[in-house]
A and B are shown apart, each in its own frame.
Chain A
Amino acid sequence: MSIIETESLCRHYGPRRGVEAVSLQVPEGSLFGFLGPNGAGKTTTIRVMVGLLRPSAGTARIFGLDCWRDSRAIKNELGYMPGDLRLMAWLDGARALRIWGKVRGRDLLPYGRELAERFQLDLRTKVRNMSRGMRQKLGLILAMAHKPRILILDEPTVTLDPLMQAEVQALLRQWAAAGHTVFFSSHTLGEVEQLCDRVAMIRQGRLVADESLDTLRRRAGHEVTLRWRDAGAAPHDVPAFLQLSQRQETVWQGMLSGPVDELVRWLADKPLDDLAIGRPDLETLFHQYYAPEQREP
């Protein structure tokens, strides 16, 4: 069952494009990665989901409720951390948890303290005295302290050190295992790859992929590296099922679009020194999807 669902979602800023016809389905209990370069429309999509922006067309629903009209009901069970997190300078962690608790009508201090201990954050430090990383930790604590059914995180680990990133990832995995849904927007492909079981990619405001990571990899084919015995040994013709990204005298690299046995049959009588076949990593997939955009002026 999809807990977040957008259908033909459009959002324009006057003549400027935000997102165009974005149809997303996020299954309940999943760790969902949302990828795209700067300005692709990730934050716009998220801001529509959390009720900050009204869609120009299409719908965005969470728990089956409309993200604009039923925003309050949705936010009861939603935790959100914005990418460009700003907090009031006079706040400290404990005070923030007390105020947020009053707003939400529940005591957030016990779990908030537990999270602070896990993230090694002193709740007595005022925001004005915090580093960016500390503010990010506090933002995560405030988004998670009420144990929401859905957690929407926009670049949540960007200012955290690697140890803390690992800690956050471990926590998010625990959350997903416990049935919470995590919607995770990031530029850090390795992180998404380690963490997420499903990803969507957005490019120039349009969704270009929304699948499980395995399906995405299968669909992309295999990464192939062929090492020829010596210079001049490489065949002159490249078969149609092989799209080369690099062609040197002794080394060919590219993507295999057909079945592996077809490649093996073709290689049978070729002077091959070494062969490597594997599924591409997320970074390769990302580059595949965004290569045309990068070539645009």
Chain B
Amino acid sequence: MGKGGALTAAGQVAKLGYKNIQVYSEGIPGWVKAGFPLDKAIPRPEIPPLAPSQLQEKLEDAYLLDVRPEESYKQGHIKGSKNIPTDLISGRFQEIPTGKRIIIINISGTPEWVPTGWFLKSKGYNDVMMLKGGIDAWQKEGLPLAK
């Protein structure tokens, strides 16, 4: 999580009455840069990327899963996509139909970091892809967003 997220969490912990709070704003990038190990709990199967132009051709066939926060989704999303934010996926993934190709849409996105895709594969969803570059790339291509 970025520093902003950690600060939000710190604010909430402070409200609960904890007095001794510190933020590790360097986060995982700083930890890895220093050469320290991470715990990696789940397998990381390949989640193939789709370029925005390729996705536009497949809009009808796939289940478009937008995992951005609800506020971002409301500001503009790919027509026909459904919003389940990453925070809520583990409790709501049953809403996602089986037997359909799922395409994950994030703010940006690289095929090397798709936790939602790895999670869905672990739950038996076999055909999972991701929008390469996320909504940012979609917009840069000048493709339309619905509100």
Chain B binds chain A = no
- Residues of B bordering A, CB below 8 Å: none
